[in-house]
Amino acid sequence: MTGTGRPVVLIHGFPLSGASWEKQLPALLAAGHRVIVYDRRGFGKSSKPAVGYDYDTFAEDLHKVVTELGLRDIALVGFSMGGGEVARYLGMFGSGNVSRVVFISSVPPFLLKTADNPEGVDGEVFAGIEKAIAADRYAFLGEFFQNFYNADKLLGKQVSVQAIQASWNVGASASATATLECVATWYEDFREDLKRVDIPALVIHGDADRIVPGEASGFRTAKLIPHAQLHVVADGPHCVVWTHAEEVNRELVQFLGAGHSR
């Protein structure tokens, strides 16, 4: 937690930690915001319990952060899995103390293909991911981060070998239990939660996202939330907060406005 002014809570993605927001912090602080970053249970420096890897629990964890810090008039910004916390938080607790929400490369509204959700991803894909993690978590992470950054296209241009290695290091240090258990949360159904979004919302998604395809997630989220703003990052991979940080930061700061307290 650092800075002063209107609070912004940044919620990281799988399998990283709050440190993954390092390119957003300077821009938000320069705009006058108070920035709060925390690590999801099982990841980063948080404790690594054997249970609690579901979105109701994640949202309760976020609520504890907000309550214990006495935060009001907050903006919630979720990247990837973090967008699920944003949606479920509003579904469970409403928007009484939330002024704005941002979904970046996020999993809502519903990633799993079902009879009433034909735009989703086939369940066999998630089953394959679980199998790969159980067989060799470290090898899985190596392949995962190649697609996380679209390394075949962007390596040496918008992401370095060292940045990818740093992400692998963070992912490898996460709880093995959490890494496996979180896969099933990626296809949580957030459609009812999104109906409670009655505040300004921004959706940022890359059109080359190989982890959470925009057609199955962000583009639909923007349509489901009344008056939501959608910003599509051209040729953006999943981790646009790193590869396209300047563009993402510009949209974030413009949407959130000045951080000076009202």
Residue range 236-247: mean pLDDT, rounded? 98
What count of other Cβ atoms lies within 10 Å of the Cβ of residue 143?
10
Which run of H or of E encompasses 62? helix 55-68
CA distance 157 to 51: 40
pLDDT band at residue 4 using 50, 70 and 90 as cut-offs: confident
Indicate if the pLDDT at residue 262 is higher than 70: no
Task: Give the residue from 80, 79, 102 showing the smallest Cα distance to 90.
Answer: 102
Two tokens, residue 43 = 């990841």
The residues annotated as belonging to the active site are 80, 209, 238
Question: Which residue(s) pair with 78 in the sheet?
Answer: 11, 103
pLDDT at 2: 74
Residue carrying the six token digits 């937690």 = 1
Residue 176 CA neighbour count, 13 Å, CB half: 8
CA distance 128 to 13: 20
Residue 237 to residue 210: CA distance in whole angstroms: 7
pLDDT 10s digits, 30-87: 999 999 999 999 999 999 999 999 999 999 999 999 999 999 999 999 999 999 999 9
Structural domains in the chain plus CATH codes: 7-256 (3.40.50.1820)
CA distance 207 to 189: 22
Please give the average per-residue pLDDT across 145-152, as a whole number: 98
CA 233/CA 48 separation, integer angstroms: 34
